[in-house]
Amino acid sequence: MRADEAAGVIEQRRFREFAWRELQDWHARGVEAQEGRRRNAWRPLLQHRRDIAETSPLPPESALKRDPRVDVLRGLALLMIFVDHIPDDVLSLVTMRNFGFSDAAEMFVLLAGFSSMLAYGKVFERDGARIGLRRIVMRIARLYLFQVGLLLTTLGVGLMWTTHYHQRPIMAATILDAPIAGLAHALTLRAVPNYLDVLPLYIVLLAAFPLVYVGIRKKTWLTLSASAAIWLAANLDDNLNLPNWIGGKSWFFDPFAWQFLFTIGVAMATLSASHDGALPRVKWLSWLCGAYLAFAFFESAPWAAWHLPSLRPIAMPPPDKTHLGAPRLLDILALAYVLLSSAKLRILAGKRWLRPLEACGRHSLEVFGVGCILALFGRLLFSTDGAGLEMQIAVNALGLATMCLVGFWLERRRFASSRKTLATPGVAASATAAATS
């Protein structure tokens, strides 16, 4: 009996081991089947995302993220525009225009095209043409209202200054001499005063963005070639410009020429979005851009104003700004490539001490408007009380600080509004869409 009992025990152990192995195999097959069903359930969505990534010029992940480099550079451009709009400002000796052929205006227009593609291009992709066009029309209307507000403020301040100080601002003199005709022309953008000519250019360029967007998406090089041909025609024919009632001249920023820079900005946004948010770094091209930037610096630096001997390699006249001359265009493109292909700039743009510039760039329209008014008072104060050291410090410190504070205040309002919006059910998607504009 003992032998039979021992054999039974062994048989029971074998049965239990067999049953345990079968149970493990059955569990593994069940888990694998469940994972397979889960993968099959997600496969259509993943395939849909791949289709979007293949057909869309902007990958979904990068399109939803705002590039801090663009905001930092645009904020820096806005501060330099404020300084450059005040003649005899000592800080204008260290702005961008002293280190190359181009200045902050070129940087602003290029980044306008870049950011327009990131913001409105995604709206066209996700929501369709009707919603995208409506967003652009609303933005153009806002730009126009800001332009009208800046114009009326400038005329009001000019009239007040003429009455109390008997000094009439030159930029407002023509309209104040014929107020009815001047206002009629100014409200239809046929009269564009000096220092108030950036927003009209932006309005025209943004109105053309839907055509640029379609062209860049369908035939990038054909669209760039057509844009280059229009730019070349504007450089060859001075009459290819919009009329300006003031002085019987044309727009200072010829939109037929400057559209090329805007279009290049749109194409750059498309290229950078397909390369993890940065322009592809090509070593020989980086060296070529660096060499051209060095030449532009030595050629355009204000050596006399810096009290240094001139190091200009050749004596060439300043490139045409109205029609965006070729040296200026190459200068800003070389600078943009070096900056937007740099991994170090992406890290630097995220630093806390650059948050003021990022806030200014994120709310560029409002900060630009405040800067225009502050620059107007700076010009008037310099002409009335002189441009001494105390006045230089007061105008620049107050102006730059106010622009940064406005950017910070608007950023805090945006953050508080976005938190409230995200806390409301059913509107998180719309908040995400608005984050890139």
Both 214 and 350 in one domain: the answer is yes
Rounded percentage of the chain residues whose pLDDT exceeds 90: 65
What local confidence, expressed as pLDDT, does residue 45 receive? Answer: 41
Taking 50 as the threshold, does the pLDDT of residue 84 lie above it?
A: yes
Both 218 and 282 in one domain: the answer is yes
Both 51 and 73 in one domain: the answer is no
Q: Which two tokens stand for residue 294?
A: 């060095």
Q: Which two tokens stand for residue 20?
A: 């345990």
Both 47 and 85 in one domain: the answer is no
> Distance between CA atoms of 315 and 320, rounded to whole angstroms?
15
Torsion angle (degrees, nearest 10) of CA 231, 236, 239, 243: 30
Of the listed ranges 1-15, 156-170, 306-320, 377-391, the least confidently predicted one is: 1-15
Query: Which domain covers residue 28, as residue numbers?
Result: 1-55
Interval 266-321: pLDDT, tens: 999 999 988 888 899 999 999 999 999 999 999 999 999 999 999 999 988 999 99
Both 123 and 156 in one domain: the answer is yes
Tally of structural domains, the chain: 2
Residue 24 lies in a domain: yes
Beta bridge partners of 243: 250
Which residues, 6 or more positions from 259, have their beta carbon under 8 angstroms from its beta carbon? 204, 205, 208, 212, 227, 230, 231
Both 215 and 353 in one domain: the answer is yes
What local confidence, expressed as pLDDT, does residue 161 receive? Answer: 87
Kindly tell me the sign of the dihedral angle through the C-alpha atoms of 91, 95, 101, 104.
negative
Taking 90 as the threshold, does the pLDDT of residue 172 lie above it?
A: no
Both 180 and 106 in one domain: the answer is yes
Residue 62 lies in a domain: no
> Distance between CA atoms of 257 and 233, rounded to whole angstroms?
8
Both 51 and 184 in one domain: the answer is no
> Distance between CA atoms of 132 and 121, rounded to whole angstroms?
8
Residue 115 lies in a domain: yes
Interval 36-77: pLDDT, tens: 554 454 454 445 444 444 444 444 444 445 678 899 999 999
Rounded percentage of the chain residues whose pLDDT exceeds 70: 81
Considering 12, 31, 55, which residue would you say is the last residue of a domain?
Answer: 55
Residue 259 lies in a domain: yes
Which residues, 6 or more positions from 55, have their beta carbon under 8 angstroms from its beta carbon? none
416 class by beta-carbon count within 10 Å (0-12 exposed, 13-18 middle, 19+ buried): exposed
**8 Å CB contact between 50 and 60:** no
Over residues 381-395, mean pLDDT: 93
Residue 424 lies in a domain: yes
Both 207 and 236 in one domain: the answer is yes
Q: Which two tokens stand for residue 396?
A: 């620049």
CA distances from 235 to 227, 228, 249 (A): 13, 11, 16
Both 102 and 150 in one domain: the answer is yes
Q: Which two tokens stand for residue 214?
A: 């379609």
Both 330 and 415 in one domain: the answer is yes
> Distance between CA atoms of 374 and 381, rounded to whole angstroms?
10
Both 36 and 83 in one domain: the answer is no
Residue 195 lies in a domain: yes
**8 Å CB contact between 428 and 121:** no
Interval 405-421: pLDDT, tens: 999 999 999 888 877 76
Mean per-residue pLDDT of the chain: 85
**8 Å CB contact between 396 and 79:** no
Does the predicted model carry a pTM greater than 0.75?
A: yes
Over residues 334-363, mean pLDDT: 92
Taking 80 as the threshold, does the pLDDT of residue 372 lie above it?
A: yes
Residue 61 lies in a domain: no
Q: Which two tokens stand for residue 163?
A: 């009455």
Considering 9, 32, 55, which residue would you say is the last residue of a domain?
Answer: 55
What local confidence, expressed as pLDDT, does residue 332 receive? Answer: 97
Residue 127 lies in a domain: yes
